[in-house]
């Protein structure tokens, strides 16, 4: 195959030029980073799992009319996506207190929140992705008020959908992060969900045991990240029940 031109390399993914204008290929690496890349490791198979899980979620979102960048999966580690102008804001939605919210406000992890809370973070590794308000976003021209309203509407729809999806397989959606991008149709632009939705960007706890099935397993050294992500994929029906080593342990529920 002809060598492809790399467009961007991030911590967990690489973007290559796509086969047609307006498309890109998103490659999922096995790299895991946390604490603004101060902690780094390569975790065998993580990229493959995130590619499949993100495909599953984005396809389902398309099915309910939540616009997103996913076109189709190409192979184990790559998917074809629509090229977007990335809005330099991370949108976090929280249903249950955890992570930085718990730390900042002194609310015990696991406390249900009275309503979903949306936060914005400015994407800048050098600054450690600081939290910002709508005022900052508009004043510094990172996005318009209309864009912000669209991002909030998208984030809440994704939250409702994902909460239901995960509840159905015995998983509590604690919080998650999405990114949004702008696509153009002539003079008209609209905001769609971009990047990935996977256990790298969500907090997912087993409903019964509270076991963590997300990147906190890596951040907090709680065991095998691959096992946790495999369990998420298996519950979502992405992996066959008996995949893997036939002599290995069988999960019992
Ligand atoms: N998150 C993410 N990328 C980031 C920061 C946060 O995907 O750069 C996700 C994180 O996995 C969690 C949610 O956003 O699901 C909220 O993260 P939080 O603000 O609690 O930060 P953390 O405790 O992860 O530093």
Residues β-bridged to residue 175: 94, 203
Fold of 85-206: D-amino Acid Aminotransferase; Chain A, domain 1 (3.30.470)
CA-angle at 54, arms to 220 and 176, nearest 5°? 50
- From the CA of 202, give the closest atom in ligand 1: 15
**Residue 122 Cα, ligand 1 centroid: separation in angstroms?**
13
Q: Quick check: 30 and 43 in contact, CB under 8 A?
A: yes
Q: Which two tokens stand for residue 223?
A: 């065991």
Fold of 6-83+227-235: Phosphorylase Kinase; domain 1 (3.30.200)
**Residue 117 Cα, ligand 1 centroid: separation in angstroms?**
13
| Tens of pLDDT, residues 99-125 | 999 999 999 999 999 999 999 999 999
Q: Average pLDDT, stretch 134-153?
A: 98
| Tens of pLDDT, residues 56-85 | 999 999 999 999 999 999 999 999 999 999
Residues β-bridged to residue 41: 32
DSSP tag of 238: S
The structural domains of the chain, with segments of one domain joined by +, span 6-83+227-235, 85-206
- From the CA of 101, give the closest atom in ligand 1: 20
Best mutation site among 98, 106, 175 for ligand 1 pocket (most ligand atoms within 8 Å of CB): 175
């Amino acid at each position: 195959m002809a060598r492809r031109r790399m467009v961007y390399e991030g911590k967990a993914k690489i973007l290559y030029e796509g086969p047609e204008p307006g498309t890109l290929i998103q490659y999922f690496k096995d790299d895991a980073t946390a604490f603004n890349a101060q902690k780094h490791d390569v975790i065998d198979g993580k990229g493959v799992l995130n590619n499949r899980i993100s495909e599953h979620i984005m396809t389902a979102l398309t099915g309910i009319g939540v616009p997103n960048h996913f076109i189709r999966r190409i192979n184990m580690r790559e998917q074809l996506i629509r090229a977007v102008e990335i809005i330099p804001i991370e949108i976090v939605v929280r249903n249950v207190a955890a992570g930085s919210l718990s730390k900042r406000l002194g609310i015990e992890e696991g406390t249900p929140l009275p309503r979903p809370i949306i936060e914005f973070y400015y994407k800048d590794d050098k600054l450690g992705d600081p939290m910002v308000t709508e005022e900052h976003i508009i004043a510094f021209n990172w996005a318009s008020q209309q864009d912000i309203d669209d991002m909030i509407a998208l984030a809440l729809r994704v939250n409702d959908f994902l909460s239901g999806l995960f509840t159905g397989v015995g998983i509590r959606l604690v919080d998650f992060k999405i990114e949004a991008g702008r696509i153009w149709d002539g003079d008209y632009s609209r905001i769609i969900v971009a990047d990935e939705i996977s256990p790298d960007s969500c907090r997912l706890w087993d409903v019964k045991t509270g076991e963590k099935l997300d990147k906190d397993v890596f951040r907090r050294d709680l065991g095998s990240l691959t096992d946790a992500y495999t369990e998420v994929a298996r519950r979502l029906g992405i992996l066959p029940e008996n995949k893997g080593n036939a002599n290995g342990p069988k999960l019992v529920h």
